[in-house]
Structure 1
């Protein structure tokens, strides 16, 4: 996967669909509700944030930045939990979306509009972005190359690549091992897919894996904990 900009089509003029992978960026039912169910609840983030509002540091990492919706949802949750500290958010993205396309996609979610406005005002398309209570770093390029070189360790992972059937490179066992290698002790991961080879890859990487109810039309999703 080369480092280049995302090519998009639009469904109903509001849902971006990747031309590279022929897959929508978020649920056609409710992308924000999907994010909250899969990634926030899947990583128990609201409970973890509420347990200690003096938590000095928390790091979320993600495969697939897309529209930035996941980042906005967790940023909102972090601020609404009362934290005074800084949330670190690192995302690995091979095909970054143009800021104008991000703005169009995010306009569908008024509940995160204040955070979207703050983000889009400063966003330059890739790299580091200082959002005050959230420090964003979007690493562009093939995650199979960039993630093993990353020096960070995440407390929670959002595994949000396109469908494993259409984007198998982002679900390979060696990449899932790299996810485990860059997870803090007791860290978690969550993904919308319950594909057997993805669950086995996470288990082989050292995670304890649980299949739970999915969002919308997806019967199941996957939660994982690095014991």
Structure 2
């Protein structure tokens, strides 16, 4: 696959929307609180943080999940290093990320640091002394097969399964399981039946739980096999 850039427009409330998938990059209600509810709380974070903890993510998007995780890491006061790996097929430009993250003033310092270091070409980024971001740009189905690491927690944050079904395929979710550490976890905003079944078949114990805002349900799970 030839890497391509994001194709973004902005709605009346300043929320970025993907033209390619006709889906917003984060909640129309409050993207920051959605990330905290779905991905941090859904993975039992920050209480599970420890030196060397590794978060992996399908869909870097605006970087909101990454920065929210970094802020939680800082506030929890962990001694050691955090690893964060994100798979992104259509990376935003630095100005687009800057504009999107301007909606979250409490992340302003982290957003400015990310924009200053950003390259849509991907690769590792030393984000301060204790956080390393590794952005893998390309088709997740290919990148996952050549990735040699394992994550303690996964954020499954691709666009809606109805609009981007390829990212939620059985094959990709099986790769997620293969790249999950023992008793590692996942969380996602979707409770779509075919996604939950695929994750169960991949080896996760899957639970449907309360979603954020207008979304009644979401899914979380722990690797059991």
Specify the alignment match of 2:115 in structure 1.
120
Distance in 2 separating the partners of 1:168 and 1:161:
9
Q: Tell me by how many angstroms 1:95 deviates.
A: 0.2
Q: How does 1:167-206 map to 2 (within 5 A)?
A: 167-206=164-203
Contact 1:63 / 1:161 at 8 angstroms: preserved in 2?
yes
Distance in 2 separating the partners of 1:22 and 1:2:
21
Distance in 2 separating the partners of 1:124 and 1:96:
9
Specify the alignment match of 1:37 in structure 2.
37
Gaps of 5+ in 1: 50-54
Q: How does 1:82-161 map to 2 (within 5 A)?
A: 82-125=77-120, 126-132=122-128, 133-161=130-158
Distance in 2 separating the partners of 1:28 and 1:104:
15
1:108-153 Cα deviation digits (max 9, x unpaired): 0011112111221212222211112210011011001111110010
Give the secondary structure class of the aligned counterpart of 2:43.
Answer: coil
Distance in 1 separating the partners of 2:123 and 2:33:
27
Contact 1:103 / 1:120 at 8 angstroms: preserved in 2?
yes
1:4-50 Cα deviation digits (max 9, x unpaired): 0001110026210001100000000000000000000000012213x
Distance in 2 separating the partners of 1:188 and 1:2:
31
Give the secondary structure class of the aligned counterpart of 1:198.
Answer: helix
Q: Tell me by how many angstroms 1:84 deviates.
A: 2.5
Specify the alignment match of 1:212 in structure 2.
209
Q: Tell me by how many angstroms 1:2 deviates.
A: 4.3
TM-score by length of 1: 0.95
Contact 2:196 / 2:219 at 8 angstroms: preserved in 1?
yes
Distance in 2 separating the partners of 1:16 and 1:39:
20
Instruction: Name segments (4+ residues, structure 1) moved above 6 Å.
Output: none
Distance in 1 separating the partners of 2:41 and 2:2:
32
Q: CA RMSD in A?
A: 1.0
Gaps of 5+ in 2: none
